[in-house]
């Protein structure tokens, strides 16, 4: 063999050896150690690691009871070995002291970014966003406070576990032209009447239910603009005189009012009996008291099937889809192709609201 051929053969051997080294699979000895095993009872913040089914996962944003590998909230970090779990995630974000930049409206941010907001607090992005206001969506609800060395978050992303999943800022963003009658404080005051509303299931389900309720309310009231039904010619039609209790407030007193536009004497009686308020005798309370108005909306949402087969509350909690809430509220007039434009109006509002809340709409949106 010539010297040139010997040199060429040697070079080819070296190249092949290098290529083989590149494609050799990672051995278990070189695999990353498994993080602490995932638990359905544990609350995970953005960036928190957990292992599940032989792989490490990283939470993109706040989550609980969403299984790694089956929920978009988890980012796959690859296989992990049988070594000891890695160190617990730190609650101290990267950076130095309080030298985080001021938030700029409209600037895109990515998960993990920390900014100083106009209220003086520090906020960390739960996931990528195109520049939303930190106190509205896609950021941790619980602000970072400036400590001696770093801004440091508390352990709970919501400082008040009993708080409504929709903040006042988010509520205002959803209803920029709302009537001043429909106050956020009136809504939150009404929540005690139905404590399971928007507080049942995972964080995603809670936000989806709140968004679904408010989307239907948005449609019924023209964006929380109308307190009472606008077609006054309909007013005398809502008295069912066959009921034994009649219409003590008058033939034309039971027209649509409030966020769900409660109407008919029998509905005013049923809602009033459930809420401990004599609405049959004085239905005008629904248009004069914001908390009572919101309670009538929540009464229907949580207890009435309407023309559907389930309550809107159960439709969302049991993950039957937003479309079933439409069916339960006005399905006899809108569903099954009867009025697709009205159905789409409700769907559009729902999709807008879940985006504001930083979650996904789920399936089965139409009826």
Q: In 3-state terms, what secondary structure has residue 24?
A: coil
Could you write out the DSSP letters of every residue in 264-316?
Answer: SHHHHHHHHHHHT--TTT-TTHHHH-HHHHHHHHHHHHHH--TTSSS-HHHHH
Please confirm, yes or no, whether 220 is among the known catalytic residues.
yes
Return all residues near 43 (Cβ < 8 A) that are at least 6 apart. 62, 63, 64, 156, 157
- Cα 284 → chain centroid: 33
As a whole number of angstroms, the distance between CA 24 and CA 17 comes to 11
What are the start-end ranges of the E strands in the chain?
32-33, 43-44, 49-52, 55-59, 63-64, 74-81, 114-116, 122-124, 145-146, 151-152
Q: How far is the CA of 286 from the CAs of 146, 207, 311, 367, in angstroms?
A: 45, 26, 22, 29
Catalytic residue among 66, 126, 209, 220: 220
* Residues labelled as active-site residues: 220
């Amino acid at each position: 063999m010539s010297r040139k051929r010997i040199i060429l053969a040697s070079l080819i051997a070296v190249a092949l050896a290098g290529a083989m080294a590149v494609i050799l699979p990672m051995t278990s000895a070189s695999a990353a150690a498994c993080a602490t095993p995932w638990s359905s009872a544990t609350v995970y913040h953005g960036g928190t690691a957990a292992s599940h089914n032989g792989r490490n996962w990283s939470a993109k944003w706040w989550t609980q009871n969403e299984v790694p590998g089956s929920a978009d909230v988890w980012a796959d970090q690859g296989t992990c070995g049988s070594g000891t779990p890695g160190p617990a995630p730190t609650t101290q974000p990267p950076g130095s002291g309080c030298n985080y930049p001021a938030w700029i409206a409209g600037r895109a941010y990515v998960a993990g970014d920390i900014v100083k907001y106009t209220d003086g607090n520090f906020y960390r992005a739960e996931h990528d966003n195109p520049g939303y206001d930190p106190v509205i969506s896609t950021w941790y609800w619980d602000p970072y406070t400036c400590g001696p060395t770093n801004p440091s978050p508390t352990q709970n992303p919501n400082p008040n576990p009993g708080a409504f999943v929709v903040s006042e800022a988010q509520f205002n963003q959803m209803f920029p032209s709302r009537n001043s009658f429909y106050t956020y404080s009136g809504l939150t005051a009404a929540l005690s009447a139905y404590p399971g509303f928007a507080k049942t299931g995972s964080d995603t389900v809670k936000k989806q239910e709140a968004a679904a309720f408010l989307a239907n309310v948005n449609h019924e009231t023209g964006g929380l603009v109308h307190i009472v039904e606008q077609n006054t010619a309909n007013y005398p039609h809502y008295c069912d005189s066959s009921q034994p209790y009649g219409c003590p407030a008058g033939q034309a007193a039971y027209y649509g009012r409030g966020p769900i536009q409660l109407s008919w004497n029998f509905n005013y009686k049923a809602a009033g009996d459930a809420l401990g308020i004599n609405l049959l005798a004085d239905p005008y309370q629904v248009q004069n008291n914001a908390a009572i108005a919101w309670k009538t909306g929540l009464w229907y949402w949580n207890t009435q099937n309407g023309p559907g087969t389930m309550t809107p509350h159960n439709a969302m909690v049991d993950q039957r889809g937003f479309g079933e809430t439409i069916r339960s509220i006005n399905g006899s007039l809108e569903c099954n192709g009867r009025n697709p434009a009205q159905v789409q109006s409700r769907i559009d509002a729902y999709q807008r609201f879940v985006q504001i809340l930083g979650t996904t709409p789920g399936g089965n949106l139409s009826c």
